[in-house]
Amino acid sequence: MAAEAAALTQRVTAGQTTTGLTSSSPSAAYGSPVTFTATVQVLAPAAGTATGKVTFRNGTTFLARVTLTGGVARLTTAALPRGALTITAAYAGDANFLASSAPTVAQEIR
């Protein structure tokens, strides 16, 4: 009598991420370069390094879309308007990891 093997179904889901955002100079002079750093961390039980792109915005105004390197995306710009700005960074996700957005960062350009 031949033995039958039971079918096995395995479901793999994308891992969750969290994104952090920092400014190199939260209060900068107009025309001075400011570097925004977004760090995408993979949350357990998932493992690995997130790949893909992060979109940086000043409020609703698009600043740049930057490719992650080692889970980090950096944007350096001196083209910010004067005033109190609200900078955001959103990770788009990839084939293995879900999208996430950083809490906003207050940026002053004086």
Domain residue limits, the chain:
17-109
Confidence (pLDDT) at 6 = 80
Q: How far apart (Å, rounded) are the C-alpha atoms in residues 25 and 54? A: 20
pTM for the full model?
A: 0.87
pLDDT, tens only, 37-88? 999 999 999 899 999 999 999 999 999 999 999 999 999 999 999 999 999 9
Confidence (pLDDT) at 14 = 86
Q: Which among 21, 29, 18, 20 has a CA at the least distance from the CA of 87?
A: 21
Fold annotation for 17-109: Immunoglobulin-like (2.60.40)
Strand spans (E) along the chain = 17-23, 27-28, 34-42, 53-58, 61-67, 72-77, 83-91, 100-101, 105-109
Look at 6 and 1; give whichever has higher pLDDT. 6
pLDDT, tens only, 7-51? 877 776 889 999 999 999 999 999 999 999 999 999 999 899 999
